Amino acid sequence: QVQLQESGPGLVKPSQTLSLTCTVSGASISSGSYFWSWLRQPAGKALEYIGRVYTSGSTNSNPSLRSRVTVSIDTSKNHFSLKLTSVTAADTAVYYCARKVDGQGWFDSWGQGILVTVSS
Amino acid sequence: EIMMTQSPATLSVSPGERATLSCRASQSLSNNLAWYQLKRGQAPRLLIYGASTRATGIPARFSGSGSGTEFTLTISSLQSEDLAVYSCQQYETWPPTFGQGTKVEIK
């Protein structure tokens, strides 16, 4: 069974870049037809879709964040990553990585999430 | 972007009783709706997709219904382990969007 685990700094200063990695175990990130995705949930608010990288390496992101988001994949390390630039306090949230099967709309596997706080 | 509204914000239910959670969409989704269970410190768990299809391994006490703009998640007999926040997600249009969640408390 596939498992996902987020890692990265829990504290980022305003205006800096948030960088997170999602390590996938139990399956090869380069096999199958999957979208490897990032989502986040600020305290008391709804989950928000951030962006995704396909098994082939192609990417897409939420228009609301597109100019600040980079999602990438490293098949040699079986992980994918998120970079969010120019962060502010509004980017404080629990960040999740998740998997979505190509052709389906739901997320069938998730990581447990990592709290990232933006503060000086 | 489709807006998702969940109600109530908090639901208190006694063990063994039925819990009924609602999710409303700002436009028709057909049946392109999923439900998730979120517990602090744990990976979110997919419960329902296609509005009414249980995901693999999900107990039969969880059921989903509805289509168009109105959807319901029912927990037929609440267990203590069902204490969680439940969130609905639409995938009719991109980007996918979520409701703010319903917190289920044990009365």
A49/B55 touch (CB, cutoff 8 Å), yes or no: no
Encode pLDDT of B53-66 as tens digits. 999 999 999 999 99
Closest to B58 measured CA to CA, from B42, B75, B72:
B75
Interface of B with A in 43-102 (CB under 8 A): 43-46, 49, 55, 87, 89, 91-92, 95-101
Q: What is the dihedral of CA B81, B5, B48, B80, to 10 degrees?
A: 10
Residue B4's identity, in one-letter code, is: M
Encode pLDDT of B84-105 as tens digits. 999 999 999 999 999 999 999 9
Query: Is B80 in a helix, a strand, or coil?
Result: helix
Closest to B77 measured CA to CA, from B35, B8, B14, B11:
B14
Distance from CA of B82 to the nearest CA of A (A): 17
Encode pLDDT of B1-59 as tens digits. 999 999 999 999 999 999 999 999 999 999 999 999 999 999 999 999 999 999 999 99
Asked if residue B90 lies in contact with residue B96, where contact means CB atoms within 8 angstroms, the answer is: yes
Q: What share of chain A is helix, strand, coil (3-state, %, to 5)?
A: 5, 50, 40
User: Distance from CA of residue A80 to its chain's centroid?
Assistant: 8
Q: What is the pLDDT along chain A (120 residues), one digit of tens a residue?
A: 899 999 999 999 999 999 999 999 999 998 888 999 999 999 999 999 999 999 888 999 999 998 899 999 999 999 999 999 999 999 999 999 999 998 999 999 999 999 999 999
In this predicted structure, what is the pLDDT of residue A35?
Answer: 94
- Whether chain B has a CB inside 8 Å of the CB on A109: the answer is yes
B91/A105 touch (CB, cutoff 8 Å), yes or no: yes
